[in-house]
């Protein structure tokens, strides 16, 4: 039976210092383009200054990893030299709403950072976002409806307009409108445009090809409640694997692990809070290449009982990054 949520769309790693994050991710072997910062003049005749929220992506063909941060007063000296400064342009009638949205995003990121630096955003991919919205509403899952954003994208064939349609889940129930769950920002996005996504920077030195798993750590006493929530979100039952609950997606998974079992899954890892997204995994072409690359960079690497290798959260800005051998094509 088909599902209106098919796979992982992206995760969001919220960081305090974008320059440090870029350095780390590039040392990890990800090809990450310069981040984009919205800019605006604070007074007539003044030079535009970065404000709000900034981000960049490590892209794959079906998914991506987002690096995001909020821009605070005094941050000008911490903005990466290669940052892409984007002057804010909008009709006068739309500018107040645009500023409000950017301000809300920045405030949301600041709240996430105050909780801990690490993974706070999980978005699933939907082949039919309107069907997802209808099903969630029928199941009593609150969300803010389907939003649409159009943005220009530079491709090999010129500038194209990318349409992003998405919804954000509200764990507090219908009508509250806060667009968040206890563990962070969770929602669904319409499937990526294959032509546009394929034109992005996809050749990573570490051989990463896809986002394959997200690990959500919860208090043991809350496991059943969180499982029920995500069964409603995803429209499918979880698979039981000992103390772990797993949601199988197309070539990927969401794994719920009780805090009492996290070290059995990822040795020596401890959650910064509960509940929390504590790790994500990427599939790579050759795990031996990753081992050599990270050894050369002096980045600590550990092995999981499943045979994956991972960079511990303490060395990766608050989230464990797991590298997994991609299946050999038949």
The DSSP line for 244-292 is EEEEEETTEEEEEEEGGGHHHHSTT---SSSSEEEEEEEEES-HHHHHH
**pLDDT at position 1:** 54
Give the C-alpha distances (Å, rounded to integers) separating 105 from 70, 83, 140, 283, 306.
Answer: 8, 19, 25, 30, 37
Phi, psi at 71, each rounded to 5°: -95, 120
Q: Is residue 167 a contact partner of residue 147, using CB atoms and an 8 Å limit?
A: yes
**Distance of alpha carbon 194 from its chain centroid, rounded?**
19
Q: What is the CA radius of gyration of the chain?
A: 20
Helices (H), the chain: 18-27, 95-115, 129-138, 194-198, 223-234, 262-265, 287-297
Residue 305: its H or E element? none
- Residue 117 burial by Cβ neighbours in a 10 Å radius (0-12, 13-18, 19+): buried
Q: Classify strands 320-325 and 276-284 as parallel, antiparallel or unpaired.
A: parallel
- How many Å apart are CA 15 and CA 33, to the nearest integer? 16
Taking only the tens of pLDDT, the chain with its 330 residues reads 579 999 999 999 999 999 999 999 999 999 999 998 888 776 666 677 788 899 999 999 999 999 999 987 766 667 888 888 887 766 677 777 777 777 888 899 999 999 999 999 999 999 999 999 999 999 999 998 999 887 767 666 667 788 899 999 986 544 434 457 899 999 999 999 888 888 887 899 999 999 999 999 999 999 999 999 999 999 999 999 999 999 999 999 999 999 999 999 999 999 999 999 999 999 999 999 999 999 999 999 999 999 999 999 999 999 999 999 998 765
**pLDDT at position 156:** 60
- How many Å apart are CA 10 and CA 124, to the nearest integer? 7
Dig out the tokens for 18 from the structure: 């974008």
- How many Å apart are CA 252 and CA 237, to the nearest integer? 15
Give the predicted TM-score (pTM) of the model: 0.92
Dig out the tokens for 29 from the structure: 């072997």
């Amino acid at each position: 039976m088909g599902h209106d949520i098919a796979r992982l769309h992206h995760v969001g790693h919220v960081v305090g210092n974008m320059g440090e994050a870029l350095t780390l991710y590039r040392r990890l072997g990800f090809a990450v383009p310069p981040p984009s910062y919205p800019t605006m003049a604070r007074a007539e005749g003044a030079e535009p200054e970065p404000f709000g929220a900034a981000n960049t992506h490590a892209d794959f063909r079906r998914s991506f990893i987002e690096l995001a941060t909020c821009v605070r007063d005094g941050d000008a000296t911490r903005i990466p030299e290669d940052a892409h400064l984007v002057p804010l342009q909008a009709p006068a009638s739309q500018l107040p709403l645009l500023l409000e949205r950017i301000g809300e995003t920045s405030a949301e990121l600041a709240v996430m950072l105050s909780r801990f630096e690490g993974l706070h955003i999980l978005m699933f991919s939907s082949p039919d976002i309107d069907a997802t919205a209808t099903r969630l509403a029928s199941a009593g899952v609150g969300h803010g409806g389907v939003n649409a954003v159009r943005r220009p994208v530079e491709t090999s064939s010129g500038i194209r307009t990318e349409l992003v349609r998405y919804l954000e889940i509200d764990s507090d129930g219908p009508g509250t409108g806060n667009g968040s769950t206890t563990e962070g920002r969770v929602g669904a996005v319409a499937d990526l445009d294959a032509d546009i996504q394929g034109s992005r920077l996809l050749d990573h030195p570490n051989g990463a090809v896809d986002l394959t798993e997200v690990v959500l750590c919860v208090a043991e006493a809350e496991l059943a409640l969180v499982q029920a929530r995500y069964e409603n979100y995803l429209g499918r039952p979880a698979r039981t694997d000992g103390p772990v609950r797993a949601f199988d997606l197309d070539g990927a998974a969401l794994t719920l692990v009780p805090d009492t079992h996290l070290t059995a899954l990822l040795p020596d890892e401890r959650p910064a809070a509960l509940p929390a997204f504590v790790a994500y995994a990427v599939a790579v072409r050759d795990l031996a290449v990753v081992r050599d690359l990270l050894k050369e960079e002096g980045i600590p690497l550990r092995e999981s009982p499943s045979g994956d290798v991972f960079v511990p959260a303490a060395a990766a800005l608050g989230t464990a990054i797991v590298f997994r051998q991609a299946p050999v094509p038949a």
